[in-house]
């Protein structure tokens, strides 16, 4: 990251944003040689086009990048990220024609990410001068946290099993001086986390729950819970090979939690942060949990297993019940929970659920402003009855193929102490194709929007005192 964002220098190549309307006026300020060169190259300032103007006398070289600045509703807010693939290695800075340098810088950094831990040859990338007029430390903080989460998701399961994910969480906690606790294997049963234990007990690496706290006791109390299924075979209801291909990303909820936690802890805002990450691998062996089994939960509700491939909600159930045992102002959980969410909204737009209309509007507002899209889905109470069991308090899945994301959210709500302070995010944690700011592979969704929301809440809390 340090190599991608350097100190500002006037000698860096200037990047100018232009469109088809502003380009003719800019041509009047260029030397005839540069104008002639642009014409020969066929540069027309259309979105995504690029033109290098050579250095002249005391003026540094310039880059002219075609953007869609006129129709802001349709333009890609991360279009500056295209520059990473277009520019050769070197040092660049944004010129005065770049209106939102904060957004452009973030787009550049997020696009520059690549997962190269298993690649021998590393490709050199362009570097960017940190614009003097922006809060570049905040932008860097956000980008580094997203890098952390993406790395966790992209790492294959043979190197990112329960032990490795635990160590990643504890390393982050140690970096910021957080207090930590963990429950592993039989400790889960002794400390009353039966569902987490049941899901993960068949794996070679034991199931566990990692917990850490950070920040002042009188700070805004934020609790984050992230699903940490390091690989999901589907259990005895085994997935087909095609559905198993991306299951290393089933710990994307945990990665998102750690990314958001890093943003909060690194900013040192007065937040009393509590992080809970239930970590398992959903595997198959003689002691694997079975369809039809009934287990107690930390909440005291018995749960009949309808499908062992719906394991994420089970480990979250125990973690959410535990979360509610301490006071909090906000409780957010993140999980790659249902395929139904992708059918409804696709990979780029995660649904979220909450019973609090004001919180929902607040989340949506920050999601739109930060270009970290989220969409509210209903906790439709008429579907809640379908979760009631015949020989147990609850069933883990409902019959039929409808409303899968909603009923999963309703199941989680059963384990939340105060749903008015809770929101559930059913994320995908993956970019199927490369787009500006979103390289193909592991992705962290919702964290930037919620970081903005938490910062705002802290500021409002200060003003109200």
Residues carrying an active site annotation: 239, 313
Q: Phi first, then psi: what are they for 401, rounded to 5°?
A: -105, 15
The 10 Å Cβ neighbour count of residue 419 is: 19
Tokens of 454: 């938490």
Rounded to an integer, what distance in angstroms lies between the CA atom of residue 351 and that of residue 338? Answer: 11
Rounded to an integer, what distance in angstroms lies between the CA atom of residue 339 and that of residue 402? Answer: 11
Rounded to an integer, what distance in angstroms lies between the CA atom of residue 415 and that of residue 333? Answer: 12
Tokens of 413: 């709500």
b vs e for 295-318, b when ≥16 Cβ sit within 10 Å of the residue's Cβ?
A: bbbbbebebbbbebbbbbbbbbbb
Reduced to 3 states, what is the DSSP secondary structure of residue 178?
Answer: coil
Rounded to an integer, what distance in angstroms lies between the CA atom of residue 373 and that of residue 369? Answer: 9
Q: Do 100 and 108 contact (CB within 8 A), yes or no? A: no
- How are beta strands 62-66 and 13-18 bridged, if at all? parallel
Residue entry with tokens 């102490």? 417
If we measure between CA atoms, which residue out of 436, 423, 199 comes closest to residue 308? 199
If we measure between CA atoms, which residue out of 71, 139, 72 comes closest to residue 108? 139
Q: What residues pair up with 63 in beta bridges, in sequence order?
A: 15, 52
Evaluated on CA atoms 364, 247, 315, 183, the torsion sign reads negative
Tokens of 127: 């570097």
């Amino acid at each position: 990251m340090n190599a991608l964002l350097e100190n500002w220098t006037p000698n860096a190549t200037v990047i100018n944003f232009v469109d088809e309307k502003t380009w003719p006026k800019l041509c009047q300020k260029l030397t005839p040689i540069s104008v002639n060169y642009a014409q020969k190259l066929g540069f027309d300032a259309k979105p995504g086009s690029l033109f290098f103007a050579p250095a002249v006398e005391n003026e540094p070289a310039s880059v002219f990048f075609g953007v869609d600045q006129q129709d802001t509703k349709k333009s890609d807010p991360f279009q500056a990220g295209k520059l990473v693939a277009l520019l050769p290695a070197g040092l660049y800075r944004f010129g005065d024609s770049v209106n939102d340098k904060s957004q452009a810088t973030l787009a550049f950094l997020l696009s520059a990410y690549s997962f190269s831990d298993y690649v021998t040859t590393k490709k050199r990338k362009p570097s960017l001068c940190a614009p003097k007029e922006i809060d570049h430390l905040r932008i860097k903080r956000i980008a580094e946290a997203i890098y952390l989460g993406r790395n966790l998701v992209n790492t294959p399961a043979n190197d990112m099993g329960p032990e490795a994910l635990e160590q990643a969480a504890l390393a982050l906690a140690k970096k910021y001086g957080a207090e930590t606790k963990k429950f592993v294997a039989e400790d889960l049963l002794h400390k009353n986390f039966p569902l987490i234990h049941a899901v993960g007990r068949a794996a070679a690496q034991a199931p566990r729950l990692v917990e850490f706290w950070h920040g002042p006791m009188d700070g805004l109390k934020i609790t984050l819970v992230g699903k940490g299924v390091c690989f999901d075979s589907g259990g005895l209801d085994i997935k087909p090979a095609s559905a198993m291909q991306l299951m290393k990303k089933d710990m994307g909820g945990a990665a998102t939690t750690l990314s958001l936690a890093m943003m909060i802890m690194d900013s040192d805002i007065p937040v009393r942060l509590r992080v809970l990450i239930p970590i398992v691998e959903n595997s198959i062996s003689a002691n694997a949990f079975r369809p039809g089994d009934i287990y107690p939960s930390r909440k005291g509700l018995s749960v009949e297993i309808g499908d062992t491939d719906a394991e994420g909600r089970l480990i979250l159930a125990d973690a959410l019940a535990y979360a509610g045992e301490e006071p909090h102002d906000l409780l957010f959980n993140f999980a790659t929970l249902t395929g139904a969410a992708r059918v409804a909204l696709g990979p780029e737009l995660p649904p979220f659920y909450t019973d609090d209309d004001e919180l929902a509007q607040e989340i949506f507002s920050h999601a739109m402003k930060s270009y970290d899209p989220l969409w509210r889905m209903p906790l439709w109470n008429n579907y809640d009855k379908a979760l009631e069991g015949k020989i147990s308090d609850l069933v883990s899945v409902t019959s039929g193929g409808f409303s899968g994301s909603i009923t999963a959210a309703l199941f989680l709500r059963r384990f939340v102490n105060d749903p008015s302070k809770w929101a559930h995010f059913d994320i995908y944690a993956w970019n199927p194709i490369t787009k500006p700011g979103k390289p193909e592979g592991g992705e962290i969704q919702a964290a930037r929007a919620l970081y903005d929301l938490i910062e705002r809440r802290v500021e409002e809390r200060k003003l109200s005192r």
